[in-house]
Structure 1
């Protein structure tokens, strides 16, 4: 008798685990997909872990998905209609109308196996995991099977491998504000990158979803759009970018630098400005501190970092003496720059960083021009500028002997190059972190500057491109003029 009771309790517990609702909300956004909606609903109702909420959100359909949904109303399926005409807003409405701890957004033309939720929940027992994602079995115009890679945060920044059908932790969803309605962007990829940016990770679940590709599907329409680009896919105009400038006390061009920066045509709420002051000039320090508080960006940061006393140099003496390389000035000048950019790499938290030197006048369209060149395999995009000393551009191509040849004439369009100075370059931050620490070879033979070494190493992680249409002004200073007169007369 006791043995019978033990078996009954075990079976009863197993039955309860499979029939009691789990804390999952399944949201099915629907726009003119009534013909396949019942298949998606049946997939959800067949789950070994029954979701607490099943909600169909009809976004301006004219094929009456409410008639399909009504057949399942006695099984807990709810229906709501909206006129958003936006997948992101439709998903967000569904999330708002449910309360469960986990969210599953299931497109009506996709399918999931009966144990899908159960397997995903197993992965989500780890609270550091925000999304559990599957492998993909394609159908329709594609019939291949895609084995999802293990989670790699850097890889996710380059391209998306997590489908919209991942099971999502609501708290992570709420933390980033859900999906953003950005025209022509891949809202799933944008969402996952923002979640990972908050310190969460995703994890692969041992399961597979069915993904249908057909002429009317959103992914098909997106891929065929004539204005599609990597920058649009990644919603880069809505992503945070750090602008980092090392200062050396050059007051005569400071206001022009500031005016140009304020003219930047970019969402100011996505700019993180960091000024790094190496000057020991107290008045210049006060000037910078005052000016940065008036910059119209979401976040501003000021770092005062005078050069080490042991160098026996100031930024002013380095700029003045490096032309003739007096007192080892070229070596210490390069160390000062390397020191500044090491600090940038250590403190930058954004996906992209624009290095903007204090003698460069940025253009309003600079960031937009540079993002045009970004792709999954691009590490940096350069805005070219002319040398302050020689009749040439600072952009170069490498030679076999370790030297470089600078462009004397302006190129056209987007061109792969060897590198440039750090005057105005948009870097992928993860690639810069891969080549840290930076260093100079100014005392090597052949001599190599820090930027030559950095770009050479960076090419192991992605292409270096120059957008010649993004040329910026290299502002002349009195010190440069004096130095040139002294050196070349």
Structure 2
């Protein structure tokens, strides 16, 4: 392939000294040659700084900042990059060598493609979990969920047009989803390469795990920020909201049928009776 447009691979890093070298090596080993690799140290601990110091001669640029969160780290990395294409890579994940080449081929072949992702191998410390395939597609597939991996490729000009990643959302997470909504609401699609080219690590204390408790808050934030988009899709919004309520109701009914729930009810019944007598 004629490596024409320059690619910037941005790797935000926060206390990832156990994983950052594998992420950097996966960027270095990409078969797409016209690239730069920028690591953003987001206020990491001393162990991580020591690893980054050792890796610095291998990469294009190391940016050091106080801890400000992933979105700000990504934006700062992109601001100091020179690439026509951007790939964000979390420091505990890694790509297979041909991802960037195949992603750029897809973008250059079809002007309608704004985002490129791929099949993903999800794993944790004990080994492989599964092979996950993102939905991809147009804005309709992104209204109520993120349909591309957070580490996906896009064009720099789309990042500039959207004003970068939302820097308030790290409190809630899902800055990737909100960013993709921003890109696709003016048209275009997210393309899914039909190969397993990305390795995503599931960690118990990761941001992804923490934000599961804030689903309604994060969804509210996104709807209000993109209110015009959801007004245009009001019927789909109401349908999705009702389906969520139905699922929640089914879960409640399922829980009331569990043996431990029934046992708890039986144990509490005498105390509730005594309490009613005291009133």
C-alpha separation in 1, matches of 2:219 and 2:93 = 22
In 1, are the aligned partners of 2:118 and 2:134 still within 8 Å (CA)? yes
Written as runs of structure 1 = structure 2, the 5 A alignment for 1:402-481 is 428-429=233-234, 431=236, 463=242
Query: Match for 1:232 among 205, 213, 218?
Result: 218
Does 1:184 find its partner at 2:172? yes
Written as runs of structure 1 = structure 2, the 5 A alignment for 1:209-358 is 209-223=198-212, 225=213, 228-233=214-219, 235-236=221-222, 238-241=224-227, 350-353=228-231
Q: For residues 92-128 of structure 1, what are the alpha-carbon distances to aligned partners after superposition, in whole Å with 9 as ceiling and x for unaligned?
A: 0000010110111100110100001011111111233
Does 1:143 find its partner at 2:129? yes
How far is 1:464 from its partner?
7.8
C-alpha separation in 1, matches of 2:112 and 2:101 = 18
Does 1:44 find its partner at 2:33? no
C-alpha separation in 1, matches of 2:98 and 2:142 = 26
Q: Against the structure 1 CA distance between its residues 51 and 62, is the aligned structure 2 distance closer, same or farther, given a 3 Å change threshold?
A: farther
C-alpha separation in 2, matches of 1:464 and 1:154 = 17
Query: Match for 1:172 among 140, 155, 158?
Result: 158
The structure that has the greater radius of gyration is: 1
C-alpha separation in 2, matches of 1:127 and 1:119 = 15
Identify the structure with the greater helix proportion: 2
Question: What 5-or-longer segments of structure 1 have no aligned partner?
Answer: 1-13, 242-349, 354-426, 433-457, 467-489
In 1, are the aligned partners of 2:107 and 2:116 still within 8 Å (CA)? yes
Normalised TM-score (structure 1): 0.45
Q: For residues 354-381 of structure 1, what are the alpha-carbon distances to aligned partners after superposition, in whole Å with 9 as ceiling and x for unaligned?
A: xxxxxxxxxxxxxxxxxxxxxxxxxxxx
In 2, are the aligned partners of 1:180 and 1:191 still within 8 Å (CA)? yes
Written as runs of structure 1 = structure 2, the 5 A alignment for 1:189-204 is 189-204=177-192
- Name the residue aligned to 2:139: 153
Q: Against the structure 1 CA distance between its residues 25 and 87, is the aligned structure 2 distance closer, same or farther, given a 3 Å change threshold?
A: same
- Name the residue aligned to 2:90: 107
C-alpha separation in 2, matches of 1:153 and 1:209 = 23
SS in 2 for 1:34: coil
In 2, are the aligned partners of 1:109 and 1:212 still within 8 Å (CA)? yes
C-alpha separation in 2, matches of 1:64 and 1:57 = 15
- Greater RCO structure (CA 8 Å; 6+ sep): 2
Q: Against the structure 1 CA distance between its residues 62 and 153, is the aligned structure 2 distance closer, same or farther, given a 3 Å change threshold?
A: same
Aligned length: 239
In 2, are the aligned partners of 1:21 and 1:50 still within 8 Å (CA)? no
Q: Against the structure 1 CA distance between its residues 464 and 148, is the aligned structure 2 distance closer, same or farther, given a 3 Å change threshold?
A: closer
Q: For residues 167-192 of structure 1, what are the alpha-carbon distances to aligned partners after superposition, in whole Å with 9 as ceiling and x for unaligned?
A: 11111111011110222141000100
In 1, are the aligned partners of 2:134 and 2:149 still within 8 Å (CA)? no
SS in 2 for 1:50: coil
Written as runs of structure 1 = structure 2, the 5 A alignment for 1:13-32 is 17=2, 23-32=6-15
How far is 1:144 from its partner?
1.0
In 2, are the aligned partners of 1:189 and 1:234 still within 8 Å (CA)? no
After TM superposition, where is structure 1 displaced by more than 4 Å over at least 4 residues in a row? none
- Name the residue aligned to 1:67: 50
How far is 1:156 from its partner?
1.1
In 2, are the aligned partners of 1:113 and 1:209 still within 8 Å (CA)? yes
SS in 1 for 2:35: strand
C-alpha separation in 2, matches of 1:48 and 1:234 = 41
- Name the residue aligned to 1:80: 63
Normalised TM-score (structure 2): 0.77
SS in 2 for 1:71: helix
How far is 1:41 from its partner?
0.7
How far is 1:68 from its partner?
2.3
In 2, are the aligned partners of 1:184 and 1:233 still within 8 Å (CA)? no
Q: Against the structure 1 CA distance between its residues 165 and 464, is the aligned structure 2 distance closer, same or farther, given a 3 Å change threshold?
A: closer
Q: Against the structure 1 CA distance between its residues 127 and 26, is the aligned structure 2 distance closer, same or farther, given a 3 Å change threshold?
A: same
SS in 1 for 2:119: strand
- Name the residue aligned to 2:72: 89
In 2, are the aligned partners of 1:119 and 1:206 still within 8 Å (CA)? no
